[in-house]
Amino acid sequence: MKIEKVDDIAAANSAARTKLRDVLSSLAPGEDTTLPDDEKWTVENIVEHISIVDSSALKIAGRLVKKGSNSTPNDGRAFVDGALFSALSGQSAAKLEAPDIVRPTGDIDLQKSLSILDLNDAEALTLYSELAARDLSEIKFPHPYFGDLNAYEWLLLKGGHEMRHTDQIGRILSKIRK
């Protein structure tokens, strides 16, 4: 998928959420809390992690939008570095160590994490609208792996992160269902 407009980011994130929900809808009882021998996290832990990262990315993007409240008008263009898009596409199976701040606590069940994601969807709609209206390409905040990112990139990262972990959930379910 090519990302040129803020609407493209919204569509990519919506597709990521749909894929996550489709995978989770296939869960049999107990699969969400089963930990395969060679894994660190259960499906429930992964979805909690997704909800933590999703919330954090939205919070950061929201702060960047506020910082750019006087920015020049935008025609809906998404200012995304092509290297970031390539990096996101190439990391679906790479094992990365999550920073402590976004590690799952194990205290939040699957349904609560999904509720958090649902609430985040409404917030994201507001941010997409604001990003489409203003050029916020030069207002950035650092990401621990990808460096300085603008709000468009933080929102694209949100969906890419979700896709990465949805693929991981699929691999875990394959192990559980053997």
Spatial CA neighbour of 22 closest among 102, 114, 84, 86: 114
Residue 17 has pLDDT above 80, yes or no: yes
Of 34-38, 98-102, 169-173, the poorest mean pLDDT is in 98-102
pLDDT at position 91: 58
Domains belonging to the chain, first-starting first, are 6-176 (1.20.120.450)
Residue 85 has pLDDT above 70, yes or no: no
Residues 6+ apart with CB under 8 A from 14: none
Span 109-143, pLDDT tens digits? 999 999 999 999 999 999 999 999 999 999 999 99
Q: Give the separation between CA 144 and CA 127, rounded to whole angstroms.
A: 22
Mean pLDDT, the chain, rounded, equals 92
Judged by average pLDDT, the poorest of 21-35, 77-91, 130-144 is 77-91
What single DSSP character describes residue 69? T
Q: What is the pLDDT of residues 49-71, one digit of tens each?
A: 999 999 999 999 999 999 998 88
CA dist 62 and 122 (Å) reads 13
pTM (2 d.p.): 0.92
